[in-house]
């Protein structure tokens, strides 16, 4: 049997902390994760998540929790369909954080 079939593809990410939101299924604290880098593939999608939560409880069926407030949209038209941060080429994290602070709760 080919071992490659059983392996999951791991996406590059960094763990920011272990005190994320509680898992909606099991109630345990989650890991806070972010991408190691924003690639051209991310920028080509209508949106991507800049941060997400990962449940580390082995018996829990929930893996990733993707809150809508961490969605980053490609352009203003896509953004009009939902509330999120607009990311374009040349945007820095400081720009993204400034946009996030300007959004109404």
- Residue 31 CB burial class (10 angstroms; 0-12, 13-18, ≥19): middle
Q: How many residues does the chain have?
A: 105
Is the per-residue pLDDT at 7 higher than 60? no
Question: What per-residue confidence (pLDDT) applies to 103?
Answer: 55
Question: What per-residue confidence (pLDDT) applies to 9?
Answer: 57
**Residue 37 corresponds to which tokens in the numbers above?**
């880098």
Q: What is the dihedral of CA 34, 31, 14, 68, to 10 degrees?
A: -10
* Average pLDDT, rounded, for the chain: 75
Alpha-carbon gap, residue 79 to 65, rounded angstroms: 21
User: Once rounded to an integer, what is the mean pLDDT over residues 39-56?
Assistant: 86
Tell me if the pTM is above 0.75: no
Residue ranges of domains in the chain:
11-102
């Amino acid at each position: 049997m080919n071992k490659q079939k059983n392996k999951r593809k791991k996406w590059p990410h960094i763990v920011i902390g272990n005190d994320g939101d509680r898992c909606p299924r099991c109630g345990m604290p989650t890991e806070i994760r972010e991408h190691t880098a924003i690639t051209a593939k991310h920028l080509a999608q209508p949106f991507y998540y800049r941060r997400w939560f990962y449940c580390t409880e082995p018996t829990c069926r929930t893996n990733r929790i993707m809150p809508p407030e961490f969605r980053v949209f490609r352009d203003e038209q896509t953004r009009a369909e939902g509330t999120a941060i607009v990311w374009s080429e040349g945007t820095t994290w400081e720009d993204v954080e400034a946009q996030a602070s300007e959004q109404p709760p």
